[in-house]
Amino acid sequence: MRQLVYDDDFKEIVNEKIKYWQNVSDIPKKVKDYITSLSNELIFRTYNDEYGYKDYCSNCLKELDVNHYCEHCQKSYTNLNKKYIIYLSQKYISDMKYICFYTYVFDVVDDEVILYNIENQLNYDHLAPLKYKESTLSIANIYDVKKDYLYERINGDTLEYSQIEAFFNNPEVEEKFTNTYIEFCFPSNSNQFLYTDNLDELKKSALYKYSQIWELKDKFNDNDFTLSSITYNPIYCKEFEYLIKMQLYNLAIDCSKINFGKGKNFKDIFGIDKKYYKFMKDIDITSEQFDLLKMYPTTDLALLEFISKGIYAFEVLKEYVKLEDLKKYIESQEDSENHIRRYISDYYDYINGLIMLGADLKDKKVLYPKNFYEEHDRVSAEVMIVENPNLDQKIHNLSNILSLNVYENDEYIIFPADSISSMIDESSQQQNCVRTYCERVGENDCQIYFMRDKNAKDKSLVTVEVRDGKVVQARTKFNKDIDSRQRKFLSDWEKVMIPIIKGDN
């Protein structure tokens, strides 16, 4: 492409080759076609706390039906892989002027690599690239800048404006870089794309010629990329090239976040035995999975997924149990598939409790009790008693006095908590936090009573908190409100209740 411009002395008009795209018409047709094909397929997705997500037509912003069909535009969205889904908050959907997406495009000009960032605002019918200076990154300029700063900038997800200012106020960051970089879009991952058809061109450039970045074409095309994986990593990290040659593509994409060891052999560099290499390659291991693998070497992918649900707990637990066995055990517990994380953190508590009580952790019956929560609660109660030797006695003594307030009608009975165990049991049955009230109850700062069905006295029904002779809280399971019959019972009880104030006992 050529353009007519004045020569340097402003004397003659000359026919000069265009180096940089300055407006929409400079963008090659293939790139424009690519962007158009994207905008035709994109859908917007919003997450809703309780009901999952909703999908919207990117053309008219109306909600799509279950088959991803837009009645308004009479259009079906069929390409539903992650590349075409843009996550937005509801606020942006209702205020469409902010909706845009970005396409990165590499270009090589006179040995210099340029990265363009083309903005496409969907509410206009056409491409709206930012002004040239603000939308291009000269990779050579990046290369000039001190790499630590660059790393922070590029790997930071979203930065506050003050952080950006602090970065650019640093005298070590060159002005020419500042000018092109400050307006450059930083990745948010879901609304950016990379044009990959010309990645081979980078073989011609001095900076990228050894990088092997073109081997990542398929991954980049699926939108597995970050700004660092196309700029910082291939240029600064020598591991990038090697990881690609080893077919560890996901690690290459994230390589600047990984601490590789020094040394010549696989184990020194990766911190794990070479026998795991095939597994790593087969699953194209991610940097998150790699961290887990180093912590607990295994070729069981499901086990790694399990470990990812409670990394900090497992770092301790792996000293006491084989995580393979623990996974099987937890999976055998009631309703565990929906509560894996809760089971893991409660199991962690359980083991810590056992350690404190000096239990035999070699005993399989101790490690894997038949009914986990029953044992868990028993251990919690014991731990609390050991930690507060007088507390259990205090609660018990107080309950003898509070028993003056035992009350019943035809249907219900109400009686005071009489031990730490009774409160932990109530807490567990009701899924509430009454177990944390033990100290307050022991000090008679408040009183806890259990209201139950007369013919099911062991089964929790309503947990009642009393202060100064008044009911201040009465909740059923999961902290739900009580019904009108239960309320009537409690108000009848309140009328005859003897207030037992702190200091009276």
Q: For binding to Zn ion (CB under 5 A), which residues are involved? A: 57, 59-60, 70, 72-73
CB of 428 to Zn ion, least distance (A): 51
- Rounded-to-integer distance, Cα 478 and Cα 472, Å: 17
Closest CA to 231 of 211, 257, 251, 217: 211
- Residue of minimal Cβ distance to Zn ion: 57
Half-sphere exposure of 484 (CA within 13 A, CB side): 0
- Rounded-to-integer distance, Cα 82 and Cα 84, Å: 5
Q: Look-up: residue for tokens 């919003």?
A: 46
Count the neighbouring beta carbons within 10 Å of the beta carbon of residue 504: 9
**The two structure tokens encoding residue 214:** 């073109």
Backbone dihedral angles phi then psi of residue 447, each to the nearest 5 degrees: -125, 140
CB nearer to Zn ion: give 57 or 280. Answer: 57
CB of 83 to Zn ion, least distance (A): 20
Q: Which residues of 32-53 are buried (b: 16+ CB within 10 A; e: fewer)?
A: bebbeebeeebbbbbeeeeeee
CB nearer to Zn ion: give 63 or 119. Answer: 63
CB of 33 to Zn ion, least distance (A): 22
CB nearer to Zn ion: give 60 or 472. Answer: 60
CB of 122 to Zn ion, least distance (A): 11
CB nearer to Zn ion: give 73 or 295. Answer: 73
CA distances from 68 to 54, 56, 74, 181 (A): 10, 8, 11, 38
CB nearer to Zn ion: give 93 or 359. Answer: 93
CB of 128 to Zn ion, least distance (A): 21
CB nearer to Zn ion: give 122 or 497. Answer: 122
CB of 41 to Zn ion, least distance (A): 13
- Rounded-to-integer distance, Cα 453 and Cα 445, Å: 27
CB nearer to Zn ion: give 41 or 300. Answer: 41
CB nearer to Zn ion: give 70 or 199. Answer: 70
CB of 36 to Zn ion, least distance (A): 17
Which 3 state secondary structure label does DSSP give 54?
Answer: strand
What's the 3-state SS for 307-335? HCCCHHHHHHHCCCCCHHHHHHHHHHCCC
CB of 88 to Zn ion, least distance (A): 15
